[in-house]
């Protein structure tokens, strides 16, 4: 089931009211089976894979906790990692690894053309796999006691608002929230509807129209001049944010209505004044996951300086590979890793003070442009097309088609104003004004109505991160 569909509207109209009429244990059961239905609507054939991952993680984590010997604990942790990463690697990376072996000439085939098997990637597999791994590692580290009720444990991994595309939740944050009966709250409902409306605005009014505009540019950049290629990269950078942050907003809003606090996943990343700052604001649940379970495992900052730089770099490359089984994602991770490592070098040796003397607007522009460079590779269909587009931009190629959709600047401009107001703390004062209280309900209703009309006449594209 997609958040951006009439199906989800109907789903919420049935599940949400029913949820508040039930007692505590029935509420959890309703959430569990609603989440199963939510995922099955996307692809019912992958439900058994979910079950396999859940059972392995559930049993393995209990064994980790109960084992007295450290070696036994480690074996059970390896078991959980093997099952979860094995499923992930099989479905997501098999063809990529085969293509590498083919290029190296070690696949034993006489054919010069590589033929992919073409496995269908289970939706949300990267998200729930990382969530399951974090759970088992936290138990192993002694930070968490394993959940003994399989239904509650399954609900932790299945919880429909964040099941398919995050935020990646931690057990110590979400599982305790399942305890106790949830009562309807007007405040939670108001906050949740506002968050959902913001997410729909980002996805349906900004990300989807941008997708239609940039698709032909990225499909064949050689046909377009440097300005069109630049606009393609610029608008994709906006699209990926609005698409993913839009999903997170809807997830947070839906959870809030049901009485759950799902952590914020994006915090105005394009107003960051450095790459380090941006990664504290962008996909926060993944950034903290990579920090806690990759960077710290490699030794974090408790190692010699050169090794620390290496740890930062490798962590970001792994983050790039997490996004997709292709070289363009690894290059994206490489660019992110280099930018963070270079900034860390300047900070360590006291050069940051010179960077801070640069006007903040220029630092924000530099950070955004650097992220755009990574976005070019992230979105490109392959490395060759990425290099064609990059070359046309850098050499200011004027031959080719110039195209632009001026209407796209209207919703993106509105969002920019909203985020600047939030960044400068002025939005809280505006929300307290009588004018805002007067227009808020009609404004939210308009967003839901327009989106509903769009979903009625056309199928809104699925969220970009569903492919990961």
Q: Summarize pLDDT for 235-292 with one digit per residue, the tens.
A: 999 999 999 999 999 999 999 999 999 999 999 999 999 999 999 999 999 999 999 9
CA distance linking residue 31 with residue 179, whole number of Å: 13
State the residue range of the domain holding 292: 188-408
> What pLDDT shows up at residue 468?
63
Residues 83 and 145 in one domain: yes
Instruction: Measure the N-to-C terminal CA separation of the chain; round to a whole number of Å.
Output: 16
- Give domain status of residue 461, yes or no: no
Lowest-confidence segment of 93-102, 129-138, 281-290 by average pLDDT: 93-102
Residues 150 and 255 in one domain: no
Residues 142 and 193 in one domain: no
Which of 382, 408, 434 represents a domain boundary (last residue)? 408
The H or E element spanning position 339 is helix 327-348
> What pLDDT shows up at residue 351?
79
Better pLDDT: 373 or 99: 373
- Give domain status of residue 202, yes or no: yes
Residues 70 and 199 in one domain: no
- Give domain status of residue 56, yes or no: yes
- Give domain status of residue 458, yes or no: no
- Give domain status of residue 465, yes or no: no
CA distance linking residue 51 with residue 194, whole number of Å: 34
Our answer to whether residue 102 is catalytic in this structure is no
Instruction: Report the mean per-residue pLDDT for the chain.
Output: 89
Is the Cβ–Cβ distance between 284 and 263 less than 8 Å? yes
Which of 376, 408, 440 represents a domain boundary (last residue)? 408
Residues 269 and 369 in one domain: yes
> What pLDDT shows up at residue 319?
92
pTM higher than 0.95 for the full model?
no
Residues 59 and 112 in one domain: yes
Residues 120 and 238 in one domain: no
Is the Cβ–Cβ distance between 134 and 96 less than 8 Å? no
Residues 346 and 317 in one domain: yes
Q: Is the dihedral of CA 83, 89, 94, 99 positive or negative?
A: negative
Residues 220 and 176 in one domain: no
Which of 378, 408, 438 represents a domain boundary (last residue)? 408
- Give domain status of residue 420, yes or no: no
Residues 173 and 192 in one domain: no
Residues 77 and 104 in one domain: yes
Residues 170 and 225 in one domain: no
Overall domain count for the chain? 2
> What pLDDT shows up at residue 354?
81
- Give domain status of residue 15, yes or no: no
- Give domain status of residue 146, yes or no: yes
> What pLDDT shows up at residue 192?
93
């Amino acid at each position: 089931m997609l958040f951006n569909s009439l199906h989800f509207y109907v789903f919420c109209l049935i599940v949400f009211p029913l949820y508040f009429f039930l007692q505590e244990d029935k509420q959890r059961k309703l959430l569990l089976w609603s989440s199963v239905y939510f995922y099955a609507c996307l692809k019912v054939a992958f439900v058994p894979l979910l079950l396999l991952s859940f059972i392995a993680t559930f049993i393995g984590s209990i064994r980790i906790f109960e084992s007295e010997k450290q070696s036994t604990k480690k074996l059970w942790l390896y078991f959980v990692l093997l099952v979860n990463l094995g499923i992930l690697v099989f479905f997501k990376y098999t063809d990529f690894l085969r293509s590498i072996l083919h290029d190296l000439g070690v696949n034993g085939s006489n054919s010069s053309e590589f033929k992919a098997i073409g496995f269908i990637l289970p939706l949300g597999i990267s998200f729930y796999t990382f969530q399951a791994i974090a759970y088992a590692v936290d138990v192993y580290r002694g930070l968490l006691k394993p959940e003994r009720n399989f239904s509650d444990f399954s609900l932790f991994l299945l919880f429909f608002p964040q099941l398919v595309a995050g935020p990646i939740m931690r057990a110590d944050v979400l599982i305790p929230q399942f305890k106790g009966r949830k009562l309807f709250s007007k405040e939670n409902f108001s906050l949740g509807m506002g968050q959902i409306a913001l997410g729909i605005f980002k996805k349906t009014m900004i990300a989807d129209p941008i997708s239609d505009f940039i698709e032909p540019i990225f499909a064949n950049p050689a046909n377009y001049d440097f300005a069109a290629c630049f606009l393609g990269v610029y608008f994709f950078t906006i699209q990926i944010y609005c698409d993913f942050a839009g999903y997170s907003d809807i997830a947070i809003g839906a959870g809030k209505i049901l009485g759950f606090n799902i952590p914020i996943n994006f915090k105005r990343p394009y107003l960051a004044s450095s790459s380090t700052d941006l990664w504290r604001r962008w996909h926060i649940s993944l950034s903290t996951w990579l920090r806690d379970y990759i960077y710290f495992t490699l030794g974090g900052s408790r190692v010699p300086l050169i090794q620390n730089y290496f740890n930062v770099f490798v962590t970001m490359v792994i983050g790039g590979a997490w996004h997709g089984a292709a070289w363009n994602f690894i290059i994206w991770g490489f660019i992110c890793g280099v930018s963070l490592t270079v900034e860390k070098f300047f900070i360590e040796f006291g050069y940051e003070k010179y960077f801070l003397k640069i006007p903040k607007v220029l630092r924000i522009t530099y950070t955004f442009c650097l992220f755009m460079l990574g976005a070019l590779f992230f979105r490109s269909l392959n490395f060759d097309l990425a290099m064609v587009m990059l070359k046309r931009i850098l050499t200011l190629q004027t031959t080719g088609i110039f195209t632009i959709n001026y209407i796209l600047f209207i919703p993106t401009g509105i969002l920019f104003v909203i985020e600047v107001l939030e960044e400068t703390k002025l939005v809280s004062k505006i929300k307290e004004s009588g004018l805002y209280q007067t227009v808020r309900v009609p404004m939210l209703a308009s967003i839901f109505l327009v989106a509903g009309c769009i979903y009625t006449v056309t199928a809104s594209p699925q969220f970009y991160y569903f492919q990961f």
